[in-house]
Amino acid sequence: MRSYGLKKWMTGWLRAFALACTLAGPQAAWAAHAYGQFGDIAYPPDFTHFKYVNPNAPKGGEMRLVAPTRASSFDKYNPFTLKGTAPPGLGHLVFESLLTGTMDEPTTSYGLLAEDISVATDRLSATFRLHPLARFHDGSPVLAADVKHSFDQLISQRAAPQFRTIYSEVRQAVVLSESVVRFDFKRVNPELPLIVGSMPVFSRQWGGGKPFDQIVTDMPMASGPYRIGKVDFGRDITYQRDPQYWARDLPVRKGMYNFDRITYRLYKDNTAQLEAFKAGEFDFIQAFIAREWARAYSGRAFDRGDLVKRELPHSNAGDFQGFLLNTRLPKLADSRVREALALTMDYEWMNRQLFYNAYTRVRGYFVGSPFEAKDRPGPDELALLEPLRSRLPSAVFEQTVPLPPVTSLDPQSGHTLRDHLRRARQLLAEAGWTFRDGALRNAQGQAFTLEFLDNSGSMSRVVTPMAKNLEKLGIQVQIRVVDFAVLQKRLDVFDFEVISNRTVGSEAPGTELMERFGSVAARTEGSGNLMGVSDPTVDALLQLVISAQTRPQLTAALRALDRVLRHGHYAIAHWYGSVHRVSWRSARFAQPASLPTYYQPEPWATSTWWSTDAPQRP
């Protein structure tokens, strides 16, 4: 679950007031239409719509999308449990939360199901007053008891374990009246009102009293702009706009969710997807493979302008993508081994030969953002790292932050692929792995083998040249392609060695990092800590991240975290794109005049575009 007038003097006063309330401590208490983690609230109480929408956009028509190939099937309508796969689009089209974020403000959210939020003077609780118009799809009101029920179910053992991590610092939800609910916190953390504010809310009647993990194909009882419509179960799904949607005239929804129907089509592989797009089976696609974008997004339909091909600018933080190494396995537990494996990837060759020089190398976990660690630690980072010095390698303090190896064609540079492989062999020897009897072996004589797990086969062209370099070190490589359901099951129980993974960049990383890097998550099946990071110094830095009271404090804590993780060599960094590569049918859609600051193409299109032949109707 990730996040989004008055006269000029009034806007300035509100910002100053919100900032004072966020930082002033026990003396401050406030109630407002919005909450800013650091007090920066852009829209005043009487704003009419977000600036990146067309408030007069007509309703009607259909948008047909394609699901990621990793989600080539689905078998449930409950996206909050561990077992099974939910259909794409379900979370953001059907379910709603107390607050909603914007595409311009990463640490601010505005009232949706809740029309008002109050933060206690000691900042150990947040109280939400529900909007009197808020309704579930069956017409029943959204009540405080439903909010508490949703929270209690999500933190139960019957829900997916990541929710218990996300809400681990929330003590309880308390119903104060039919329309007022309070969340009590275990500690002061200015992000917590945003976290509980973004929690999905569903009706107590969903499932008819069945245990939460037995609610599988029961139609969700939620409050969002769409309901589940026509379904080819396991394959395609259509969401039908609710013409009586309760929030259609609210400022946070004005001009949004304009299509009568949004359909997701599911395909088994990228080639089938692209050919189906050209054949007119769906309308909008985002390209992630540079070779396809350069060579396959072409033809008469593009030449005529029937299909638009655009590289859209954005200000998003860079995505983190890489080969994640499962450090729970003894052979991958030594950071020297992991560093050696990274030296076998010749990214410069790949970018030239495979990617048409379309990408930038990922450097760290917060690449392209203010939170990326650079050079040696500055005074603000050192203040956080010094208390942990005894547990950290001296290199954290004495050396620049590790960067991915750069392969040079100059034989005199000392950075050729041959030089990298020599360095890798040395690191492996230091870790107890030497070449003998035809393979790289440890002291017990066990051969070093490595399995790359994939569900689409698209990574084979990346792994194959890397595998040849690994084999030069005596490491035997296997590329195993499995069905997505099998892949997900193996990931849930951490039954893998190397997996390719992409995490969308965030402009405000926070509590969700506990799920990615925390020691508790490393021991919890189904968590997002696939690498198995279990380090008390990382845990300590995570606590500093989630307790940051100001943006400079957050920045320093995240840079320190990034630095320590990169010295741990938990992943082999891949690449990221600085633009969104998107194609769509030109005649069918219109879009607002201005782009938002931070956005992903699909949610932006489904929430703000409209059909060009849609009639004006509510």
What tens digit of pLDDT does each residue of 78-104 get?
Answer: 999 999 999 999 999 999 999 999 999
What distances in angstroms separate CA 299 from CA 275, 279, 302, 304, 354, one per listed residue? 11, 12, 5, 9, 21
- The residue that leads in pLDDT, 61 or 270, is 61
Output b/e per residue, 345-376; b: 16+ Cβ within 10 A.
Answer: bbbbebbeeebeebbebbbbbbbbbebbbeee
- Report the interhelical angle of 460-472 vs 417-430 (nearest 10°): 70
Q: What is residue 25's predicted lDDT score, i.e. its pLDDT? A: 34
Quote the pLDDT of residue 291.
86
* Distance between CA atoms of residues 365 and 462, nearest Å: 21
d(CA 70, CA 484) in angstroms, rounded, equals: 6
Six token digits for residue 285: 């696609």
Give the pLDDT confidence score for residue 24 in this predicted structure: 33
pLDDT single digits (tens) 417-465: 999 999 999 999 999 999 999 999 999 999 999 999 998 777 888 999 9
Domains in the chain (CATH in brackets) are: 8-214 (3.40.190.10), 322-576 (3.10.105.10)
Q: Is the pLDDT of residue 9 over 90?
A: no
For residue range 185-206, what is the model confidence (pLDDT) as tens digits? 999 999 999 999 999 999 999 9
Per-residue pLDDT band for 29 (boundaries 50, 70, 90) equals very low
pTM of the full structure: 0.84
pLDDT at 613: 81
Q: Which stretches does DSSP call E strand in 448-537?
A: 449-454, 476-481, 498-503
pLDDT of residue 70: 64
d(CA 192, CA 198): 10
Number of H helices, E strands in the chain: 20, 28
Tallying the residues shown for the chain, one arrives at: 618
Query: Residues 215-270: pLDDT tens digits?
Result: 999 999 999 999 999 999 878 999 999 999 999 999 999 999 999 999 999 988 88
User: Which of 3-12, 306-315, 331-340, 587-596 is predicted least confidently?
Assistant: 3-12
User: Are residues 350 and 462 in contact, defined by beta-carbon separation less than 8 angstroms?
Assistant: yes
Q: Is the pLDDT reported for residue 21 higher than 80?
A: no
Q: How far apart are the first and last CA of the chain?
A: 29
Q: 10 falls in which pLDDT band (50, 70, 90)?
A: very low
pLDDT tens digits for range 364-396: 999 999 999 999 999 999 999 999 999 999 999
Q: How confident is the model at residue 578 (pLDDT cuts 50, 70, 90)?
A: confident
pLDDT over 80 (residue 69): no
pLDDT confidence of residue 31: 64
pLDDT at 7 over 80: no
Query: Where does the pLDDT of residue 614 fall: very low under 50, low under 70, confident under 90, or very high at 90 and above?
Result: confident
Residue pair 52/103 in contact (Cβ under 8 Å)? The answer is yes
Structure tokens at 477: 């490589």
Average pLDDT estimate for 298-313: 94
pLDDT for the residue numbered 71: 63
Q: Which pLDDT band, with edges at 50, 70 and 90, does 4 fall under? A: very low
466: its two tokens: 């890397």
Residue 516 has pLDDT above 70, yes or no: yes
pLDDT band at 11 (very low <50, low <70, confident <90, very high): very low
Whole-number pLDDT of residue 28: 35
pLDDT over 90, % of the chain: 85
1 band by pLDDT with thresholds 50, 70 and 90:
very low
